[in-house]
């Protein structure tokens, strides 16, 4: 059986009793980065074989993981933080398990888009998660230009993941497309220096000229 287990996004205490129980009982744990997952396991004194599955080795290790599940091993799939498959590896594994009639279960837990949404002050009744915005500037701008039509049809809060080295350019693109829109940036969620703040694009850009972005950000905005 394959278990999909959500793990803390920052604070190691944010893990369910059920998740800890399953992590202790399975035959092995599938993770993105063994170093990141080991921090959690060591904290709770859990020792299990780690199977690394990421975008770089997926084609090579995927068959052996599926074979382990076929012969009856119970494995857990985790991401570096939060709920697996949400802009993280694992979708192909789950799809294959379902096709091969391998049982799959998902244990709910932390997800940074939801945490950020509930703290943002933006309308939470309808939201659209965009994942990571396109890498190429042209495609990113094209996507941003499409969002007002979506918002006009169905007013919604948009949520995206932004890596630190793309944050400034993304905010500049948004300023060009939307004008001086107010957006929310969530950072270091559940950690000591957690920050969830709303400000105009120009003010954010001014701030990041003197304070270099570090770590992943969750970006939230509403066009209604």
The first and second tokens of residue 223, run together, are 């066009």
Residue 212, Ramachandran bin (φ over 0: left; ψ between -120 and 50: alpha; else beta)? beta
pLDDT of residue 169: 97
Three-state SS string over 61-94 comes to: HHHHHHHHHHCCCCEEECCCCECCCCCCCCHHHH
Strand partners, 116: none
Using the 8-state DSSP alphabet, how is residue 151 labeled?
H
148 or 224: which carries more pLDDT confidence?
148
pLDDT of residue 19: 98
Please name which of 176, 162, 108 lies closest in space to residue 130, comparing C-alpha atoms: 162
The first and second tokens of residue 224, run together, are 């209604």
Specify burial of residue 95 (Cβ count, 10 A radius: 0-12, 13-18, 19+). exposed
Within the chain, residue ranges assigned H as helices are: 17-25, 34-43, 58-70, 91-99, 112-120, 137-153, 164-178, 201-210
Percent of all residues in the chain with a pLDDT value above 70, rounded to a whole number: 100
pLDDT of residue 113: 97
Query: What are the boundaries of each domain within the chain?
Result: 2-107, 112-222
CATH topology for 112-222 is: 3.30.950
CATH class of segment(s) 2-107: alpha beta
Same fold across 2-107 and 112-222: no
- Reply yes or no on whether the pLDDT at 119 is more than 90: yes
Name the pLDDT band for 11 (thresholds 50, 70, 90).
very high
Please name which of 190, 187, 188 lies closest in space to residue 14, comparing C-alpha atoms: 190
Name the pLDDT band for 99 (thresholds 50, 70, 90).
very high
Specify burial of residue 21 (Cβ count, 10 A radius: 0-12, 13-18, 19+). exposed
Write the pLDDT tens digit of every residue in 157-191: 999 999 999 999 999 999 999 999 999 999 999 99
Mean pLDDT of all residues belonging to the chain: 96
Write the pLDDT tens digit of every residue in 46-88: 999 999 998 778 778 889 999 999 999 999 999 999 999 999 8
């Amino acid at each position: 059986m394959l278990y999909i287990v959500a793990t803390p996004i920052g604070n190691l205490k944010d893990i369910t009793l059920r998740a800890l129980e399953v992590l202790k009982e399975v035959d092995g744990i599938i993770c993105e980065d063994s170093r990141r997952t080991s921090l959690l396991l060591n904290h709770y004194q859990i020792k299990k074989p780690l199977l690394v599955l990421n975008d770089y080795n997926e084609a090579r290790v995927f068959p052996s993981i599926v074979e382990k599940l076929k012969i009856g091993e119970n494995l857990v799939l985790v991401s570096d933080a939060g709920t697996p498959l949400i802009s993280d590896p694992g979708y192909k594994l789950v799809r294959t398990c379902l096709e091969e009639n391998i049982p799959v279960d998902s244990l709910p837990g932390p997800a940074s888009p939801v945490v950020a949404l509930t703290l943002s002050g933006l309308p939470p009744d309808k939201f659209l998660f965009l994942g990571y915005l396109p890498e190429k500037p042209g495609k990113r701008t094209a996507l941003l230009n499409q969002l007002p039509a979506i918002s006009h049809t169905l007013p919604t809060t948009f949520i995206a993941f932004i890596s630190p080295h793309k944050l400034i350019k993304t905010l500049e693109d948004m300023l060009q497309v939307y004008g001086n829109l107010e957006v929310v940036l969530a950072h270091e969620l559940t950690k000591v220096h957690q920050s969830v703040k709303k400000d105009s694009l120009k003010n954010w850009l001014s701030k990041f000229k003197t304070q270099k972005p570090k770590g992943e950000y969750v970006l939230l905005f509403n066009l209604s």
